[in-house]
Each structure stands twice: as structure tokens, then as C-alpha cells.
Structure 1
Amino acid sequence: MSPVFRRLLFLCATLTAIPVLANESAIPVEHEIVSRGDVQLEVFAQGRGPVIVMLPSLGRSGRDYDVVSANLAADGFRVIRPEPRGVGLSKGPLDNLSIHDFAADVAAVVEHENKGPVVVVGHAWGNFVARMLATDRPDLVKGVVLAAASAGKVPAGSKEMPISVAMRNAIDGAGDLSLSEAQRLDDLRIAFFAPGNDPRVWLNGWFPQANEAESHARNITPVDAYFAAGRAPILDLQAEDDAVSPRRFSNVFKSMLGDRVTVVVIPHAGHALAPEQPEAMSRAIATFAKRVYAGV
């Protein structure tokens, strides 16, 4: 074998080994299926320690939080990410669902884990489910993180809608796979991403059936059914450049729910939040969860 050929083999072996070594140092992601009647829920779990349950945005997957989950697992938590019906391998009836139904699915996952009560993180649309879980099953919830969350209400005296028609159109357009890529990128910039952040990372990863079912559930479930999130402590994790939940609405939770609510604002992030500022999101969730689990 010539020296040149031996050198090429060495380089190939070295390059091949790099991702293997990196994977060996990471906390592995577990995968399982949890059943509840005629509902099957795909669940990703990672780490050991106090449990944090993460719920995704409208029509999207918990895989959006791969980096956040890995960070939290490395910080000593067990992170559970149940996929909503219509996402991945999760399936079940999708017609005429309410937020109560989605919360009951999450409750089944928490009960299966058998380590409750837990801290539950609801990002964007997922915040409705997190609040409903805390309302319907307070025995399962120790604390709630509302990440880039629309409160569903506006400040006292305001005559605005919580989300304007134009913003709703941008939210829906971002996940409408029948639209052109250019149109969807515009909608993603308008609704989800802070100026300068790349919206292309969310061109994929949309689940139309889940989007439709979740939108219906949001529309038919009264906000007052879940607004207060039971009596759990709340972290209102706001994105500074969130166009869906803008700064003029930033005091709704605190003004209405008082000292139960802690507010943290993440700079240079829009409604997508997780792909924009995963490290800051991880730190804020970890700090809150440690405080809640310590009973402070």
C-alpha cells in the first residue's frame, strides 16, 4: 500500500469518527409510544432528574426543541416531548377536539412517566394546552412556562383583538404548504422571526392535519377555561420581538394573575423563539424549574 493511499484511509477514518465521538458525549434521546384509549402518542425523552414536559407550537413537532432539550438534559433534568395527534407517529381522532382533549393526552404521558407533578413548557399554541393541563389536572403540574405565549386577552381598556386578522393570516400562511416558498417566507418573517433571524429553518416541519385540529380546538375553547393555569407558579417567557404577542400586551399575565407570574424577556427573538435563541430559552426554563422544584 502506497504512503499516499494509507494517508487517504487515515483521513477518511478520522472524518468518519468525528460524529461518532460527538454522539457518544451526548445524552441519548429515548423514544416510546404511550396509548390512551384510541389515541397513540409518540414521545421523545432525554436525561434524568426532575421532569420538564415541552409542548410545541401550532402544527409543529416537539423536535423543534432538540437543542433546548439537550441543554436541559445536560443541566440535570429529564425532558419529555409528547407529539400532538397528527404529528409523527401520534394519531387519534382529529375532529371536533377541544384544548381539554389535547391536555388529556399530555396528562396520559405524565402519568405514564409516573414522576409528577412536573414543570410543563407550552410554546406559542402549546401554551394553551399547558394552561389547560394545569387547570384540569393540577395534581400533575408543579409549574408552567408560557413561552412566546399569546395570553388570549388584552390589557384592560384595550379594544384590540389578542391577535389581529392580518397576523392570523401570516401565522396560517407560514404553515400552508400550498403557498409558494416566497409567500411562506414572508409570512414566517412577519409572524415568527425577529429581524435578522433566518426564517428558512421553519419552512419544513409543518403538519397540516395537526394544524387544522389544533386551530379548531383553540377556536372553540373559551379562553377563561384555561387562562389562569390553575394555581401553579408561572414563568411568562417573552420574546422581545414577538409580533404575535407584542410588547404592548406584555403585562397581561402579570397584571391579571399577580405574584404567581415571573416575567423574563429574551432579546432578539420572535414568536418562534426556540430556533432563534435556544441557549437563552434553556437557561430561563432551567432557572425557573430549579426554583419551582426547590419549593422557593
Structure 2
Amino acid sequence: MRRRPVLGLLPALSMGLWGMGGAMAEELRIERETGAVTLRRDGAGPAIVLIPSLGRGQEDFDGIVPRLVAAGFTVLRPEPRGIGGSAPLPPGATLHDMAADIAAVIEAEGAAPTIVAGHAAGNWVARVLAHDRPALVRGVAMLAAVTGTEIDPAIRRSITASYTTTLPDEERLAHLRRAYFAPGNDARAWLPGWHPEVAAAQRAAAAATTDKGWLRAAERHPLLYVAAAEDAIAPPPSLEELHATLGPRVTRVVVARAGHALVPEQPEAVAAALIAFAREAA
């Protein structure tokens, strides 16, 4: 795979530089007019871009990346704005601006067309990218995704409480269990890793995105919907419902014993679904 130069390669760190099979992992930095975007590159081969959920960083995908790399893929993980070395979202940003960051990463890496996978709220960014820059996208994967942008107000309150780090851990755990994790799965995995200011900025960007054309834009491409069987935020829609809302090119995989968090709950199943989809979309 041919890569374009990336500005500002970060100094290599001695820990965590080598992925499965000896493929080097690199931390990169792309300078944009609106500020820097950092990313992690693992593996070698056709690219898969991973976009994390609301207010969370790329480390959420740590459990699936070794499996994707072992299957022969390059995994690109842009760090959301406001996390790590990525500059905060500028005032007035929309989902289109967030998608433009992903487009810049794909172009800098020479990875187009690529598979783009968005977890939960990250799926909105993936679908906006497919709408705005369709030539960069080979397929879209939606992981535990709300197909629209509306969320039940009671569940939304639990989402907010989950990342309100001033609340006692036990109270936050109750909200995490309600909104994100299937019964029996360890919600403590998501006590850390939240960035409240980032979540607020991302919510504002979603609210500022008033156009709706992107909601069906992914139908131009093969689309995978990975549903979590016990998802309180986005209960698994039927394939017929997905065809009605997302178009005829969508396929569905339902992952058992998983809630909206999905990726840390069932990393093997999520990786297997992504690998199969990426190979079929090649």
C-alpha cells in the first residue's frame, strides 16, 4: 500500500511499538489548519479506519486491533479532537468537520478507498465521510449504532452520568450498566477513559449538523451493521428495518452477550465481523 507523506511523525516510543506478527505500530501527527490530528497506525495491508464512541479515545479498540493486524490489515486510529495530541474541536464545528479529519488521515496515509468503522456515535462521522468524500470509502461498518441522531432522553441522562467523573464510581457504574453493558459483563472496564469536554464538544457538533442527506449516504457503499443483542441505546433493528433506513446494501451481524459498549465486551466477535466484511468488500 502506497502512503503519502505525513507531516510531523512523532518520536518513536520504546513501549508498544510492535504489533502482532512483528508489524510496527507508529504514532503519527497530521497538521491541519484547524489544529493537529494524531493517530496510531498498526499492521500492514489494506486499511481499516476505526472511530471511537462519544467522549472516548482510540484505546477502546485495543482488544480488536491485534486480531485485525493478524488478519493482514493496517489499522488506522485517529485520536478524536481534544484527546492526546489532537487539538480540540473548534467552536461551531459539525460532523462534517469531524469527518474532514478522517478524510485527512486517509489521504495522508494513501489508504483510499478504505473501510471505515464507527462505534456508537462514531458511526455518524463514518457516514458523513461516506457522504462528503465517497471516493475515500470502500465500505462502512456501524458498530452498535443509532441509525438516526435521536436517543431516548432517559438513556441520554445515563450516558451523561457515565462520563460525569465527579459522581461516585458506584453511581456511574449503575449508569454504565444501564446504558452500555449487557448483564454479567464488567462495566468497570469503562469507568476510566472518558473525556467529558470532548463528549460535550462532539454532542454540540452533532446538534449543529442540521442537514440530513448523510443519513442514507452510506448506501452508496457496502455497509455492515454490527448489532449488540442487549443494546439499551440501539436495540438491534431487523434487516428489513435496516434496508428501509440505510438502503439495500446493508448486511447485519448480531453479537450475543453484548450491550452498547460492544467492543470491550465481545472483541473477538467484533473483529471477526469486521474481517469478513473487509474481505468481502475488497
Is the structural similarity TM-score above 0.5?
A: yes
Task: Please name the residue that 1:178 is paired with.
Answer: 166
User: Cα gap change, 1:69/1:248 in structure 2, threshold over 3 Å: closer, same or farther?
Assistant: closer
C-alpha deviations, 1:163-211, integer Å up to 9, x for none?
A: 2110000111111112111111011001100010000010000112211
String of CA shifts for 1:55-86, please: whole Å, max 9, x gaps. 00000001110121111011000000001101
Structure 1 letter corresponding to 2:140 = V
- CA distance in 2: counterparts of 1:273 and 1:257, whole angstroms: 21
Q: Which is helix-richer, 1 or 2? A: 1
Residue 128 of structure 1: how far off its partner (Å): 0.3
Deviation at 1:223, TM superposition (A): 6.4
Would you say the 8 A contact 1:130–1:229 is kept in 2?
no
Aligned partner (choices 40, 59, 69) of residue 65 of structure 2 = 69
Once residues 199 and 110 of structure 2 are traced to their aligned partners in structure 1, the CA distance between those partners, rounded to angstroms, is: 29
Q: 2:175 maps to which residue?
A: 187
Q: Pick from 246, 255, 276: which aligns with 1:257? A: 246
Query: For the residues of structure 1 that align with 2:73 and 2:20, how far apart are their CA atoms?
Result: 19
Task: Check conservation: 1:86, 1:94, Cα contact below 8 A.
Answer: no
Which residue does the alignment assign to 2:227?
A: 238
Say whether the 8 Å CA contact 2:19–2:66 is kept in structure 1: no
Is 1:193–1:272's contact at 8 Å kept on the other side of the alignment?
yes
| Residue 246 of structure 1, CA deviation | 1.1
> How is 1:203-282 mapped onto 2 (pairs within 5 angstroms)?
203-222=191-210, 224-230=212-218, 231-247=220-236, 251-282=240-271
* C-alpha spacing 1:139/1:40, structure 2 compared with 1 (3 Å): same
Bigger radius of gyration, 1 or 2? 1
Q: CA deviation at 1:30?
A: 1.2
Secondary structure in structure 2 of the residue aligned to 1:33: strand
Segments of 5+ residues of structure 2 without an aligned counterpart are: 1-14
Q: Calculate the TM-score normalised by the size of structure 1.
A: 0.85
SS of the residue corresponding to residue 121 of structure 1 reads strand
Residue type of the alignment partner of 2:196: P
Quickly say closer, same or farther: Cα 1:138–1:53, change in 2 above 3 A: same
Can you list the C-alpha shifts for 1:246-278, whole angstroms capped at 9, x where unaligned? 136775432233421001101011100110000
1: CA distance between counterparts of 2:145 and 2:211?
13
Q: What does residue 81 of structure 2 align with?
A: 85
Higher alpha-carbon deviation: 34-43 or 127-136: 34-43
**Superposition RMSD in Å:** 2.0
Instruction: Choose which of 162, 172, 187 in structure 2 pairs with 1:199.
Output: 187
TM-score by length of 2: 0.89
Structure 1: 5+ residue stretches without partners: 1-18, 154-161
> Aligned equivalents of 1:40 and 1:239: distance in 2?
34
Show the counterpart of 1:169. 157
Q: 2:120 aligns with which of 121, 124, 138?
A: 124
